[in-house]
Amino acid sequence: MEGNFYPLLKWMILPPLAGFVLNGLLGKKFLSERAGGILGSLAVLLSFVFALLSLSDLLNLPAADRLLRDTLFTWISAGPFTVDFALRLDPLSAVMALVVSGVSFLIHVYSIGYMHGDKGFHKYFSYLNFFVFFMLVLVLADNPVLMFVGWEGVGLASYLLIGFWYEDPEKASAGKKAFITNRIGDAGFLAGLMLLAAVMHAGGVYALDFSTLSANAQLAAGASFAGVNAAFLIGVLLFVGATGKSAQFPLYVWLPDAMAGPTPVSALIHAATMVTAGVYMLARMFFLYEAAPAALDVVLVTGCFTAFLAAVIAVAQRDIKKVLAYSTVSQLGFMFMAVGAGAWAAGVFHLTTHAFFKALLFLAAGSVIHGLSGEQDLFKMGGLRKHMRTTFILTATGWLALSGVPPLAGFYSKDLILEKVFTSGAGFVWLTGLLTAALTAYYISRLLILAFMDNYRGREHAHESPAVMTVPMGLLAALSVVGGMAGAAWLLPFLQPGAPPEHHSALMIAISVAAAAAGIIAAFLITGRRIGGGHHAAWCPRSLAAAWPRLHRLVYNKFYVDEIYEALLLKPLARFADWTFRVPDSKVIDGALVNGTARLFMSLGRTLGAAQTGNAQFYAIVFMAGLCLLLAAVLAGYYL
């Protein structure tokens, strides 16, 4: 096997597992709240340290040969089919591992403050560690099957954490919705893997690790299934998996609902790390997409459409977390646009910067919610820049980063994506992306204005969050500021060592900055002007709402996509299941066939029983007639 044997990798995933077990089993009884929180955070910190150590070892290798592997044991082996429990560190997974463990650590620390006093404190940290464990398995997996373990594992963690406050049936339902929607995607992922494995086996390739798959990608390109090119089909099916996990159209509906979980969870799982797994997976499997450019077109168009749709929906939301959730969906769309345009490194770059500023924004939102004792409605906030100064400054950093204002992180990555899309020749997609970038700047500015400007409109007393929450946010803010510059200088060449350096055209930069500026200005004009007017009761979206009431209702209700799914898919399916049980199962199979047979024999018995008159002589006559027949038959044998 190629690559260097590197036993350190397993130590990257083990501390969170240990943290999960310790906090989960012992937490409530033996650990204080502080100890539990520190234990959970330390476990992730340990992973981060190991990730750094591994990275330094990786960097010591020559650029073309940067691959470290750690095979723990043969996991599944049946017939010729073998899957190892093996980990892999290459530039891509190193970046991901660092982002995951780093951001996770910060959010763990933040959570100590945020979850203070919650009944399920230890459970929370054990779940969080559980998530980090599976996320690292996903990232470090050396084969798609093990990756799938992490893939579903993080889904489970997400399910558990969304439904963390399970006593609220709506939150529990949101968890279930997330899990099931993800399952639909996962089925696509599995189908893609099945086809991939079948193609490889047909070509005599039985190992499923990424290096082997990559080396044999032409097998998929040369095969076809049901008349369709296999590589294309695999690409699309895997992308279906990605749409589930990374909340792309049409499976994005679970992510906004997932905001039912604690806000740090939204930051960690539903913004920074888990939801980006789809992008990571596509980047990881990019060798397949190279063999099937048509699949990339699907990715590009879907990403673009999702980015635009989600940005539009975000414009009209009232719930601070919903705005950020749709923003995440939209930004994930950007990442898929990058992958779809063939620039997976740009996608991963945006993934990284997005992890910083979106985590920051979510944590800031969490800080606001925490400070307002649970209020999430933007219309009941306002003026918080006075009450929560630190949070305001941090949010503003995130705002600029997300809007794409140079030189903050978001500008670099988003600009790169738009440029790549443009150079790939997809003009319409580029235009839509540009529009979406403007919308992005608009809705995030709107959020900032509504929450922090003007005067406070709520009733609860607003208070600033403790340092254990603000310090991690500060670190994330710093990363949001410098992440873009550092990434452009260092991350891209690290990810794609052989690639030529980027040539940025000044025109492109100007256009994209102009779009961001337009969005911000529009937000201040539309939302901010109302503030100046002082119509506190007649609040800002009214201006848009008053201009296009129908359109506003449509957007505010998220284009009724949930309702459409409910009416067209879920309800009919549930009713069909019910019908299946009531009619074919109970009535036809059990009623008519099984018990019907029993009834048939019962009535047959009754009918024949009527012949039993009780008259013994009648029986005797019948008996003798039978005897005669028998004799006749025997004699007929002799004489005929």
Partner 1 sequence: MMIGPDLLNLAIYLPLAAGVLIALLPRAKEHLSGPLALTSSLLAFIPALALYTGFDPALPGMQFAQDLPWLSALGARYTIGLDGISMLMFILTAFLAPIAVLSSFTAVKEHRRFYYASLLALQTGMLGVFAALDLLLFYVFWEAMLIPMYFIIGIWGGRRRIYASVKFFIYTMAGSLLMLAAILWLYFDHQSRTGVYTFALTAYNNSAAGGTGMLLFLAFALAFAVKVPLWPFHTWLPDAHVEAPTAGSIILAGVLLKMGVYGFIRIAVPFFPEAAMTAGWPIAALGAFGVIYGSLTAWAQDDIKKLVAYSSVAHLGIVMVGVLVLEPAAVSGAVLQMVNHGLSTGALFLCVGMLYERRHTRLMADYGGIAKIMPAFAAVFMIVTLSSIGLPGLNGFIGEFLILFGAFKVWPCLALVSLGGVILSAVYMLGMYQKVFFGPVSNTANKELPDLKVREWLCVLPLLALIVWIGVYPNFFLRRIDTAVNDYIRLAGGPRPVFSLAKGEK
Partner 2 sequence: MRPLLLTAAFYLLSGAILAGAAGTVLLRRPLYCALSLLFTLLATSALYILLGAELAGLLQIIVYAGAVMALFILAIHMTGQDEPLKTPPLPRLLLMAAGAAAAGLFGLLMLAATRFFIAFVKLAPEPYSVAEQAGLIFGRYTPQFELLSLLVLAGIAGAVVAAKKKL
Partner 3 sequence: MIHFLPLTDSVPLAHIVGLGVAVFAAGAFGFLVRRNLIVLLMCVELMLNGANIVLVAFSRAPASPDPQVWVIFMFAVAAAEAGVGLALAVLIWRRLGTLDIDALKGLRG
Residue 247's nearest CA partner among 223, 274, 227, 268 is 274
* Chain residues in the site for partner 3 (CB under 8 A): 608-617, 619-621, 624
218 binds, among partner 3, partner 1, partner 2, none (CB under 5 to 8 A by kind): none
What is the per-residue burial (b if ≥16 Cβ within 10 Å, else e) of 492-531? bbbbbeeeeeeeeeeebeebbbebbebbbebbbebbbebb
Residue 560 within binding range of partner 2, rule CB under 8 A: no
Residue 80 within binding range of partner 1, rule CB under 8 A: yes
433 binds, among partner 2, partner 1, partner 3, none (CB under 5 to 8 A by kind): none
d(C-alpha 547, C-alpha 558), whole Å: 18
Instruction: State which of positions 203-222 bind partner 1 (CB under 8 A).
Output: 222
Q: Which stretch binds partner 1 (CB under 8 A): 73-81, 405-413, 417-425, 489-497?
A: 73-81
d(C-alpha 332, C-alpha 416), whole Å: 15
Q: By rule CB under 8 A, what count of residues binds partner 2?
A: 13
SS3 category, 259: helix
Residue 592 within binding range of partner 2, rule CB under 8 A: no
Residue 499 within binding range of partner 2, rule CB under 8 A: no
Of the two residues 66 and 122, which places its CB atom closer to partner 1 in the complex? 122
Of the two residues 593 and 620, which places its CB atom closer to partner 2 in the complex? 620
| Eight-state DSSP code of residue 388 | -
Of the two residues 173 and 214, which places its CB atom closer to partner 1 in the complex? 173
Q: Which stretch binds partner 1 (CB under 8 A): 104-112, 407-415, 589-597, 620-628?
A: 589-597
590 binds, among partner 3, partner 2, partner 1, none (CB under 5 to 8 A by kind): partner 1
| Eight-state DSSP code of residue 315 | H
d(C-alpha 532, C-alpha 525), whole Å: 10
Q: Which stretch binds partner 1 (CB under 8 A): 94-102, 186-194, 346-354, 423-431?
A: 186-194
Per DSSP (E only), the strands in 231-273 are none
Of the two residues 580 and 603, which places its CB atom closer to partner 3 in the complex? 603
Of the two residues 568 and 631, which places its CB atom closer to partner 2 in the complex? 631
Label residue 117 left, alpha or beta by phi (over 0 means left) and psi (-120 to 50 means alpha).
left
CA-only gyration radius of the chain, Å: 31
Q: Which stretch binds partner 1 (CB under 8 A): 266-274, 386-394, 512-520, 586-594?
A: 586-594
d(C-alpha 44, C-alpha 32), whole Å: 19
Place of tokens 């400007």: 453
SS3 category, 74: strand
| Eight-state DSSP code of residue 377 | B
Instruction: State which of positions 592-611 bind partner 1 (CB under 8 A).
Output: 593-594, 598
Question: In whole angstroms, how close is the CB of 601 to partner 3 at the nearest point?
Answer: 15
Q: Which structure tokens are listed for 525?
A: 């004009």
631 binds, among partner 3, partner 1, partner 2, none (CB under 5 to 8 A by kind): partner 2
- Select the residue interacting with partner 1 from 148, 334, 349, 452 (CB under 8 A): 148
Residue 225 forms beta bridges with which residues? 228
Q: Which stretch binds partner 2 (CB under 8 A): 67-75, 211-219, 435-443, 630-638?
A: 630-638
Question: In whole angstroms, how close is the CB of 226 to partner 1 at the nearest point?
Answer: 8
Contact of 20 with 129, CB cutoff 8 Å:
yes
616 binds, among partner 3, partner 2, partner 1, none (CB under 5 to 8 A by kind): partner 3
Of the two residues 60 and 613, which places its CB atom closer to partner 3 in the complex? 613
Question: In whole angstroms, how close is the CB of 611 to partner 2 at the nearest point?
Answer: 15
Residue 568 within binding range of partner 2, rule CB under 8 A: no
d(C-alpha 463, C-alpha 370), whole Å: 8
Contact of 276 with 354, CB cutoff 8 Å:
yes
| Eight-state DSSP code of residue 378 | G
SS3 category, 233: helix
104 binds, among partner 1, partner 2, partner 3, none (CB under 5 to 8 A by kind): none
128-147 footprint of partner 1 as x/- string (CB under 8 A): ------x----------x--
User: How far apart, in Å, do the first and last CA atoms of the chain sit?
Assistant: 85
Of the two residues 152 and 415, which places its CB atom closer to partner 1 in the complex? 152
219-258 footprint of partner 1 as x/- string (CB under 8 A): ---xxxx-xxxx----------------------------
SS3 category, 3: coil
Could you tell me how far CA 74 lies from the centroid of its own chain? 28
Of the two residues 60 and 617, which places its CB atom closer to partner 2 in the complex? 617
Q: What angle do CA 431, 281, 51 make, to 5 degrees?
A: 115
Task: Write the CB contacts of 240 (distance below 8 Å, at least 6 apart in sequence).
Answer: 184, 185, 187, 188, 189, 191, 192, 251
Task: Write the CB contacts of 199 (distance below 8 Å, at least 6 apart in sequence).
Answer: 219, 220, 223, 225, 230, 234
d(C-alpha 167, C-alpha 74), whole Å: 41
> What Cα–Cα distance (Å) separates residue 404 from each residue in 272, 385, 441, 477?
17, 22, 7, 14
- Select the residue interacting with partner 2 from 418, 635, 637, 640 (CB under 8 A): 635
Residue 330's nearest CA partner among 399, 397, 402, 427 is 402
Q: Per 3-state DSSP, what percentage of the chain is helix, strand, and coil (rounded to 5)?
A: 75, 5, 20
Question: In whole angstroms, how close is the CB of 624 to partner 3 at the nearest point?
Answer: 6
- Select the residue interacting with partner 1 from 577, 622, 625, 630 (CB under 8 A): 577
DSSP for 331-359 reads: HHHHHHHHHHTT-HHHHHHHHHHHHHHHH
SS3 category, 85: strand
Instruction: State which of positions 153-172 bind partner 1 (CB under 8 A).
Output: 153, 156, 159, 163, 166-169, 172
Question: In whole angstroms, how close is the CB of 476 to partner 1 at the nearest point?
Answer: 30
169 binds, among partner 2, partner 3, partner 1, none (CB under 5 to 8 A by kind): partner 1
597-626 footprint of partner 2 as x/- string (CB under 8 A): --------------------xx--x--xx-
- Select the residue interacting with partner 1 from 1, 59, 510, 574 (CB under 8 A): 574
Of the two residues 510 and 620, which places its CB atom closer to partner 3 in the complex? 620
635 binds, among partner 3, partner 1, partner 2, none (CB under 5 to 8 A by kind): partner 2
Given the rule CB under 8 A, which residues bind partner 2?
Answer: 617-618, 621, 624-625, 627-628, 631-632, 634-635, 638-639
Given the rule CB under 8 A, which residues bind partner 1?
Answer: 73-81, 134, 145, 148-149, 151-153, 156, 159, 163, 166-169, 172-173, 176, 179-180, 183-184, 186-187, 190-191, 193-195, 197-199, 201-202, 222-225, 227-230, 574, 576-578, 580-582, 585, 589-590, 593-594, 598
